[in-house]
Amino acid sequence: MTRSFQIVSDPSKRVEATLTVPADKSISHRAIILSSLAKGTTTIHNFLAAQDTLHTLQIFQQMGVNINRDGATNTVTVTGVGLHGLRSSSTVLDVGNSGTGIRLILGILSGQPFKTTITGDASIQKRPMKRVVDPLTLMGATFSLTPTGTAPVTVTGKVALNAIDYAMPVSSAQVKSAILFAGLYANGPTVVRDPGRSRDHTERMMRHFGVQVENPDATSVIVFPPPIDLVSPKELTIPSDISSAAFWMVLAAIRPNTILTLLNVGLNPTRTGIIDVMTAMKVNINVSDIRQVEGEPIGDITVKSSRDGLTAVTLDQSTFDMATFIDEIPIIAVLAAFASGVTTIRDAQELRVKESDRIQTTLAMLKAFGVVADELPDGLRITGGTVQHVGTVESHGDHRIAMAGSILSLAIEGRSGIIDVDCVDTSYPGFAQGLSLMAAEVIYS
C-alpha cells in the first residue's frame, strides 16, 4: 500500500528549534566500503541507517564481511577482510534505490576474481550504468547489461586491472569514485579528470584509510594502489547530511516566525553550494563553530525567516558550481517559489537521470501549489511569489521530491498532501517526526 502525509500547517505559530538531521548518505556508503576493504575492525559512529546505506551494508555482508549494527546507538562495527578478502555472493546483489551504491560497488567488483550480478529497484533499472561500465571496461573488467545500458549488470572482474587516465564526460562523484575504487586493484596509478567539482568524500576517506591519493590540479585525482592493505582508522564519526539539513534550512527561510539551527552538519566545500545559493537569495543564514572531524569539516547552521527579503537568482555553471548543490535543486526550487523575481536554473541536465526525472517532477511539485514555472531542457524557470493554494504532490518514488513538497506545504496555511512517501526512508529516516514538530498536524497513513 502506498503511504502518504497529510500536512496541516499554521505558519502563524512560532517555531524555534534545534535539530540534528541523520548522517551523511554519501559518507556512510564510503565508510562501509572502505572499512570492509581494510584489515582490522572499524567502529562507525552515527551511521545513516536508511534504506540506501543499509543495502550497501547488506551487500558487503553477502560478500563475507562481518558487520554488526547496533540500531539503538547508530553504531556499526565492521571487521574488514582486506583488499583481497571479499568472496563471491551466492545471490544477486540488490542496491534497492541507490545509484551511489550500485556505481561505487561496480568499481570494487571490477577488481575481484569472480563474477557477480548486481541490480536494484524499478528506478535503478532505468538509470544509466554505461557511464561507469565504459571506464571500468577500459580497466579490463567485462560487463553484460540490458540493451538500454541499465541494470541488472553482470560483472566479471579482472586481477589486476589496468591503470587508466580517464577524462569523465560528465562531472560525477559516483563515476569518479567507481574508478578510484577500481584503482585500488590496478597495476599502477589511476588518474580521473573531472569536468567540474564533484564531491570528494571518496578521496578524503581513502586518505584517512592510508591510501595515497593526490590532486595534480583542482579537478583531477590520482589514486595509487596500496602496496599492502588499507589501514583502518579504528573509529569513524559521520557528520549530519547537508542534503537533509537543506530541507529545514529552506523551511526556516520561507516560513514566517521560524528560527532553526542544524547541528554537526557536514560542510565539505564540494557540498556547500546550497549555502552559497541561499546567501545569494538573501536568506538570513549563519554558519558557526566550524571544526574538522576525521578529514571532513563540520559546523552548525542557523537560518531565520527571510520570506519578505528573498530575491531570485540565476544558477548556471558560469556563476555557480552546479555539482555542489545538484541534490538540493528540488528544495532550491521551493525557495525560488517565495523569492521575488524569476529564478533560472540551467546546466542541470543531470537532474534527468536521478531517482526520477527531477526537472519534470520538481516542476509538477511546484505546479501542484499553483506556482508559475516552466521546464527548460537543462533546468527550470520559476516565478517567485506565485504560490497560490495548498496542493497534493506525487513523489514519483523520489525521496527529495516528497520532502521538498512537504516543506512547501509547511510554509503555507492549510492542508496539503504528499503521496507515496515510503521513499523518504531511502535517505532520511525520522523525517516525519521533524514534520510533526513544525506542522499543526501530520497524518501519516
Residues at the interface with ligand S3P (CB under 6 A): 26, 100, 172-174, 177, 198-199, 326-327, 350
CB of 309 to ligand S3P, least distance (A): 30
Of 238 and 368, which has the nearer Cβ to ligand S3P?
Answer: 238
Least distance in angstroms from the C-beta of 192 to ligand S3P: 12
Minimum separation from the CB atom of position 24 to ligand S3P (A): 9
Q: Which is nearer to ligand S3P, 112 or 198 (CB)?
A: 198
Nearer to ligand S3P, 15 or 315 (CB): 315
Q: CB of residue 226 vs ligand S3P: minimum separation in angstroms?
A: 21
Least distance CB 259 / ligand S3P (angstroms): 28
- Is the CB of 136 or the CB of 173 nearer to ligand S3P? 173
Among residues 98 and 264, whose Cβ is nearest to ligand S3P?
98
Shortest distance (Å) from residue 174 CB to ligand S3P: 3
Indicate the residue among 322 and 410 with the shorter CB distance to ligand S3P.
322
Q: Nearest approach, Cβ of 44 to ligand S3P (angstroms)?
A: 16
The backbone torsions φ and ψ at residue 375, rounded to the nearest 5 degrees and listed phi first, read -90, 140
In the complex with ligand S3P, the residue whose CB is nearer, 129 or 326, is 326
3-state secondary structure string, the chain? CCCEEEEEECCCCCEEEEECCCECHHHHHHHHHHHHHEEEEEEEECCCCCHHHHHHHHHHHHCCCEEEEECCCCEEEEEEECCCCCCCCCCCEECCCCHHHHHHHHHHHCCCCCEEEEECCCCHHHCCCHHHHHHHHHCCCEEECCCCCCCCEEEECCCCECCCEEECCCCCHHHHHHHHHHHCCECCCEEEECCCCCCCHHHHHHHHCCCCEECCCCCEEEECCCCCCEECCCEEECCECHHHHHHHHHHHHHCCCEEEEEEEEECCCCCCHHHHHHHHCCCEEEEEEEEEECCEEEEEEEEECCHHHCECCEECCCCCCHHHHHHHHHHHHHHHCCCECEEEECCCHHHHHCCCCHHHHHHHHHHCCCCCEEEECCEEEEECCCCCCCCEEECCCCHHHHHHHHHHHHHCCEEEEEECCHHHHHCCCCHHHHHHHHCCEEEEC
Number of C-beta neighbours around residue 371 at 10 A: 23
- Residue 5's Cβ-side half-sphere holds a number of Cα atoms within 13 Å equal to 34
Q: Minimum distance between the CB of residue 199 and ligand S3P, rounded to whole angstroms?
A: 6
When the beta carbons of 43 and 244 are compared against ligand S3P, the nearer one is 244
Please give the angle made by the CA atoms of 135, 136 and 137, to the nearest 5 degrees.
90
Residues forming the active site: 327
Residues ≥6 apart with Cβ < 8 Å to 374: 363, 380, 381
Tally the C-alpha atoms within 13 A of residue 407's C-alpha that lie toward its C-beta.
Answer: 31
